[in-house]
């Protein structure tokens, strides 16, 4: 394990998370497939193993502090460090038939519990293991829907797409990314936010325009950047997005 990087992807049993694990694995990185349902994580890891990828399953529910603690203990016991953390787990719970002002507080709270607080809790817990890496990388899955600039600009790609709780949670992810990147700017760890694109997944829906392999490219690129790469950036396929 000494010469092989270790990457953990949360919510990696399907969709963009699984494809991200696949692409990292093809780069000879050992991938840890995190999932709140261990059986699904094990099935995903087995699929990757059949493709010649070194993959391990990890039970990790970002909404459970106990689950996070056990996951950290397992990664430390098995590998002693973590080189890449991709905070991919996320939910979109907004009622599409309700306006911004009509979304329930329960929807807001559940969305933030996973997309923001779960992401922060996971990052904080794994940070000591990332500090043991020679070049730690943290990638926070955001969205173009988190761009306040675009939401405030008539005619922008997302101006009319007000999926309120989800959008604001991703704006919060962007803000957290900048704050943590500042703290770690003099370390070997880089923290960036990735917009994968409108990808054909369960969350992306029927109208999505991007295939899974392209949807994983931004996360993979930010997870494998060199020492001269960005820190505290908001990126889609190499292009910087407006906050």
For residue 177, is it left (φ>0), alpha (ψ between -120 and 50) or beta? alpha
Say which of 26, 70, 170, 176 is annotated catalytic. 170
**Distance between CA atoms of 67 and 101, rounded to whole angstroms?**
34
Say which of 5, 166, 176, 234 is annotated catalytic. 166
Which residues have a Cβ under 8 Å from the Cβ of 191 and sit 6 or more positions away? Answer: 138, 140, 177, 180, 181, 184, 231, 232
Inter-CA distances, 22 with 27, 44, 90, 216, Å: 9, 10, 19, 9
Q: Retrieve residue 130's tokens.
A: 């990332």
**Distance between CA atoms of 144 and 139, rounded to whole angstroms?**
15
2 catalytic per annotation: no
170 catalytic per annotation: yes
The catalytic residue positions are 166, 170
């Amino acid at each position: 394990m000494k010469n092989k990087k270790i990457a953990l992807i949360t919510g990696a049993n399907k969709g963009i998370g699984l494809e991200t694990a696949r692409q990292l694995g093809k780069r000879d990185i050992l991938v840890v497939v995190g999932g709140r349902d261990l059986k699904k994580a094990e099935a995903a890891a087995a699929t990757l193993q059949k493709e010649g990828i070194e993959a391990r399953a990890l039970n990790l529910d970002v909404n459970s502090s106990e689950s996070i603690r056990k996951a950290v203990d397992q990664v430390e016991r098995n590998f002693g460090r973590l080189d890449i953390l991709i905070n991919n787990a996320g939910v979109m719970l907004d009622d599409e038939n309700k306006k911004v002002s009509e979304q329930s507080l329960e929807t807001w709270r559940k969305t933030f519990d996973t997309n923001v607080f779960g992401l922060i809790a996971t990052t904080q817990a794994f940070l000591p293991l990332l500090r043991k890496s020679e070049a730690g990388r943290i990638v926070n899955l955001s969205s173009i829907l988190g761009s306040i600039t675009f939401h405030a600009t008539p005619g922008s790609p997302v101006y009319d797409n007000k999926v309120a709780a989800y959008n604001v949670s991703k704006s919060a992810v962007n803000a957290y990314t900048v704050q943590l990147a500042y703290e770690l700017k003099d370390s070997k760890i880089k923290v960036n936010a990735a917009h994968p694109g409108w990808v054909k997944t369960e969350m992306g829906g029927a109208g999505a325009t991007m295939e899974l392999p392209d949807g994983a490219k931004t996360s993979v690129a930010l997870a494998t950047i060199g020492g001269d790469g960005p820190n505290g950036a908001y990126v889609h396929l190499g292009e910087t997005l407006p906050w």
